[in-house]
Structure 1
């Protein structure tokens, strides 16, 4: 049995009604009726005068009812040019805790859709977000700490965020459409979107993986839909269409606008037409001449369409399909192909003969401007859009079921930002670890509990008419709780050998300057210090009584210049190899220490290749004697040092050469003169000659003292 379908294409300039029959084999076009509006009751596809549009609809309906009886239900389409596309973003504080649940990501996406909806409301200057339906959204990118990433699952960072693109339809578009139908005593049987309608009959789903642009060039606007990756990826509109060409004809040939429109249709159909200008002169114009005369207008139309296609698609599509009355504009396909840098055979006008499973009545036209009304009838029957009622926390929602609706769609329509229903994060703790302040985040708040008809559900769960949804705020997170072990992690001990004994080197932990254990729970404002000795100099502090200063190089300053005394430096060996104290140790290493001695003045001079003592050999009373005296004067803070005076690290010494030579009296520092038996006077001699005690002496001199009665 055949089913009769009545569909209306309510356009800017006219209303087209069409009757189709549907059976198992497909659809058959039976009849149509097109009546133009009496005046500008519509603008850019939006009904501005409901009463006037209703009158035109009623005329079309009555005309068709004369042949097909009473018509009470109709399939219609909302203008795709009314769709609004907007980007939205949302962020989620992670506090370095990973996202484990994909539902949290879905909540983040819905918050981004809510953000896009708020932007649309601000852009359109409306008081709230309720006047819009969300037709759909796609995720553009995910981010962790502003770095783009493929997936948020198990990612760590401070902040997760997402960017989406969402499409919205103003409610007023549907409401005004319903009002006009009601005045014409028609009930909306099914609803679709104009771009979807045309797309559904010309580009089936199997072809939508291809990047194709469908352009419906009407009277006032050119509507554009882009397919890619199996879906309708974008919608767009430019306010330049067939009227632009009509106005160019009117200006070129001095024709009234209605006459120019009639002339345009005639010359496209017959390739030649007569026109009488406003002065009464009649002219016959050929199709070729018309094309030449209005080339600039055609190019302007093509440029606007091309620019919008590139804006929506970011690159030329693989092909472009043109429908609508304006698609018959001369040379429009070639100009669009040229501007998109496509081969000419990749841009084509498609009429209703391209619609599969459609039987045509031979008395009906097949022009491209009938693709949309037929598409409305077929698409509305195949994929009808209905209103459904949903109850959300005792709030009644009316949703436009353009696709499978979910719990998340209901939240968007109700203006609920799911993230604001999360529990509050637990209180954080601020601690200090080895002098550095660290914030320990509290637990994240739990997600809200969502119930669908009394059963726990998720935001991506489909809903149907009459469903009940409840959302309850999630539980607050707990304050930060962490043990010392959880904070620091596993720190392994190390075993070394020292003085033929095995020693275990373990880390040390202090909390608020008190020894602590790994299982101690960290509290807010705790000061934590821990250290794991890894270098030789640190291990020596634990194992040896050697003062740390003895480990460092033995440095002093001589006449303002730094000098390192190797004899005072302690030497270190690991596995019999001499190393620096900063050498890293490894498990099982053997340590050996050879301690340096505290150097004296003679050690200092010896390192410099100098001898502290200066010597000469003389003879005294016939005996050979060696006389010694310091060759250098060494002072430390004005204190004169001796050869065996011990030095300390950091000493500042002044060293100068001893300029005085040996004198006679120096001999008495090296001999023991027995005066117990001496009596009378004495005389001193040098080399058999009388001498004085202060007289200088030289090596080999013979000195003597002779006593006389």
Structure 2
């Protein structure tokens, strides 16, 4: 078993997996050993595991190499890729006119409403394709009557609002990490986030009030985190990194990718590089000449990083830029980034492990900026581990990422409960929008929702633990109406068409705040209700069906076969999938077919075989001989094989030839006697004949065993 003082950390990147053992004693750290192994194939994309089995194999290999020297490894610290994080700014406001002074509880409710608004924006932006965990939020500022204010507690006015920045992590990222580690017989001891890991060891909290950009340049992507106002304000990613430079060297000097990668690394340590191109010629190239020839690619990388920093930092340059990761060693890159951001050269720097205080390395290990993130993972995962906590919210099980102190409000965010819907209706009228038209609904002041934790009254900022049960009850309404969509819309509008002779009802899509809704959904202040009909034929046709013209490439020539082509008719007039339709239109939709070889040959007027009718043992027998062989990608096809739209076929026609007695054996199963003589006579029309004897229609054939 490995020493208990060692921490095993993995940095699972796009190009490679870095395994690292770290020991800690009295606040000082030592890197005991590292193993770096590249992925054998494109099993990672933009920080997300796309091939769990392939990635787990690399993890297992790294683990086994460390175990050979240091003993069994069972637990590991890992990080979720920062490029997967989403940061959303959102604002929420409440009407406080005529109400008592604002209490702390009300401010927390306001912040929670703002975070839930960020969740809505993310769902609309990502089209609800995957679920996200909120891993933290920061208040940017509070406003009272549209004027910024330091605190809302004990204030009075008309309108109070809070603007926040919330960070979300796709659940699938963590789940795929769990799956890959499990296959490698590893248990996730702790989880952190890559930007947090790097920032924790390079940018302490005391420095985060400064506007600094941290850029982690890997193989396939460059991850960016921005600090300001005491927190991490944004995360981003550009799909350009070290591989872009390697490919430029490969193209420029005719090197394979591996040799180009080696040449790129030598540019940082040598004044010239000796390369051997794919033709076998050796060339010595001065460092400055090599850099000049790949200048455009370096400039492209620097420009992409600059644009993303501007986008994340409100179109402004930060005070400084820190570069980490193996790609940060790209020659001239810091100078180009400084120039594009209009920063002095000493404000853009490569930060390696030397920047980490109280850290030393075992003597046999090489140091480099690519180790900053894995070291940060090992340190941060122990200091601020993320774990899962399970609670129940209104009897529904909810699992939360525990990367900081969790509160009741976090359980509401993960459960999808909208705090605004649990407030008593406000005293003043609230407004909803139906297809852009404002609708005013009168009401009076209501009360805040009632919150209970394990049966006792609690507040949204109360801490929660594994197994807690949370109940939220709607606050008492004043004298307002509880309005559902059915109160505003009697029935979901519908239209009708005839599709292939069958009457079809097409209902409008009903949405509440951009999300699918039903007539029973309740309407809250500023809700947006919309309904719309599909406006193109393809929106009502079965998914996956193709209606394209059917064509083949036969012996190098393109041939269109209308008999198998799809077609769409509106009121018997040809139409396209994008064509609009109206109520009671008659729509005929015939998908493109996948015919058999036999059908294709028939349509091409090509005979598949010749046949001859004879009598064998006094029974009618048809003998067939193929006259056309069809190949797809050099593979011989049979007459029943299906042909797909766009297939390339080769048809080889056989020269005409006579049928001979031997062809009988292709049509009948000859049974050889198990006993007695196996000598035989071939008879045609009662006369002895031979295998190669030509046959004519109606010939009487038989085999006589002697």
TM bracket, shorter-chain basis: 0.5 to 0.7
**Which sits farther off after the overlay, 335-344 or 171-180?**
335-344
For the residues of structure 2 that align with 1:307 and 1:87, how far apart are their CA atoms? 20
Question: 1:113: which partner in 2?
Answer: 115
- Change in CA separation of 1:40 and 1:94 when aligned onto 2, cut-off 3 Å: same
**2:11 is matched with which residue?**
9
How far does the alpha carbon of each residue in 1:26-56 deviate from its partner, in whole angstroms, 9 at most, with x for none?
A: 1111111111001000001110000000000
Q: How does 1:154-303 map to 2 (within 5 A)?
A: 154-157=155-158, 160-303=160-303
1:264-301, Cα deviation, whole Å (9 max, x unpaired): 12332334322222333222222222211111111111
Residues 424-479 of structure 1 deviation map (CA, whole Å, 9 limit, x = unaligned): 34698xxxxxxxxxx99864110011112233221122222222211111112158
Distance (whole Å) between structure 1 residues aligned to residue 241 and residue 441 of structure 2: 62
Q: CA deviation at 1:25?
A: 4.3
Gap change, CA 1:419 and 1:479, over 3 Å in 2: closer
TM-score (norm 2): 0.63
Q: Which of the two has higher C-alpha Rg?
A: 1
CA distance in structure 2 between the partners assigned to 1:144 and 1:185 by the alignment? 55
Which segments of 5 or more consecutive residues in structure 2 lack a partner in the other structure? 430-439, 482-706
- Corresponding residue of 1:445: 446
**Deviation per CA, 1:584-605, whole angstroms, max 9, x where unpaired?**
xxxxxxxxxxxxxxxxxxxxxx
Distance 1:477 1:320, change over 3 A: same
Deviation at 1:148, TM superposition (A): 6.1
Check 1:440–1:185 CA distance in 2 against 1; reply closer, same or farther (3 A cut).
Answer: closer
Alignment match, 1:421: 422
Query: Structure 1 pair 281/96, CA: closer, same or farther in 2 (3 Å)?
Result: farther
Given that 1:336 and 1:347 are in contact with CA atoms closer than 8 Å, whether structure 2 keeps it comes out as yes
TM-score with structure 1 setting the length: 0.62
- Residue 32 of structure 1 is aligned with which of 31, 34, 39? 34
CA contact 1:427–1:479 (8 Å) conserved in 2? no
Q: What is the deviation of 1:331?
A: 0.9
Distance in 1, matches of 2:395 and 2:307, equals 47
**Cα displacement (A) at 1:377:** 0.6
Query: Separation in 2 of the partners of 1:448 and 1:262?
Result: 63
Q: String of CA shifts for 1:627-653, please: whole Å, max 9, x gaps.
A: xxxxxxxxxxxxxxxxxxxxxxxxxxx
C-alpha displacement at 1:141, in angstroms? 4.8
Paired residues, number:
467
Aligned positions of 1:265-344 closer than 5 A: 265-314=265-314, 315-344=316-345
> How far apart, in 2, do the equivalents of 1:91 and 1:32 lie?
51
CA RMSD of aligned residues (A): 2.5
Return the alpha-carbon distance in structure 1 between the equivalents of residues 27 and 90 of structure 2: 45
Contact map agreement 1:389 1:466 (CA 8 A) in 2: yes
Q: Using the alignment, how far apart are the partners of 2:365 and 2:413 within structure 1?
A: 45
Is the partner of 1:269 in helix, strand or coil?
Answer: coil
- What is the CA–CA distance in structure 2 between the aligned matches of 1:295 and 1:175, rounded to whole Å? 40
Map Cα deviations across residues 88-124 of structure 1 (whole Å, 9 max, x no partner): 3334345654653332232232222112212212222
**1:204 Cα shift?**
1.9
Alignment of 1:356-505 (within 5 A): 356-425=357-426, 443-478=444-479
Alpha-carbon distance in structure 2 between the residues aligned to 1:98 and 1:288: 71
Residues 210 and 424 of structure 1, relative CA distance in 2, 3 Å threshold: closer
- 1:219, distance to aligned residue in structure 2 (A): 0.6
1:471-510, Cα deviation, whole Å (9 max, x unpaired): 1111121589xxxxxxxxxxxxxxxxxxxxxxxxxxxxxx
Give yes or no for contact 2:145–2:157 (8 Å, CA) kept in 1.
no
Alignment partners' CA distance in 1, 2:443 and 2:184 = 62
d(CA) in 2 for partners of 1:118 and 1:426?
Answer: 25
Inter-partner Cα distance in structure 1 for 2:34 and 2:143: 53
Please give the alpha-carbon distance, in whole angstroms, between the structure 1 residues aligned to 2:4 and 2:288.
Answer: 46
Deviations along 1:164-198, whole A, 9 cap, x unmatched? 32110000010000100000000001111111111
What is the rounded CA distance, in whole Å, between the counterparts of 1:223 and 1:288 in structure 2?
Answer: 28
Q: 1:24 to 1:147 in 2, by over 3 A?
A: closer
CA distance in 2, matches of 1:272, 1:64: 35
How far does the alpha carbon of each residue in 1:363-408 deviate from its partner, in whole angstroms, 9 at most, with x for none? 1111111111111111111111111111212211111112222111
Q: Distance in 1 between matches of 2:416 and 2:184?
A: 34
Q: Is the 8 A contact 1:41 1:53 kept in 2?
A: yes
What does residue 676 of structure 1 align with?
A: none
Instruction: Specify whether residues 35 and 271 from structure 1 end up closer, same or farther in structure 2 by C-alpha distance, changes over 3 A only.
Output: farther
Unmatched segments (≥5 aa) in structure 1? 429-438, 481-709
CA distance in 2, matches of 1:479, 1:86: 33
Query: Hey, what's the Cα distance between the residues in 2 that align with 1:84 and 1:227?
Result: 15
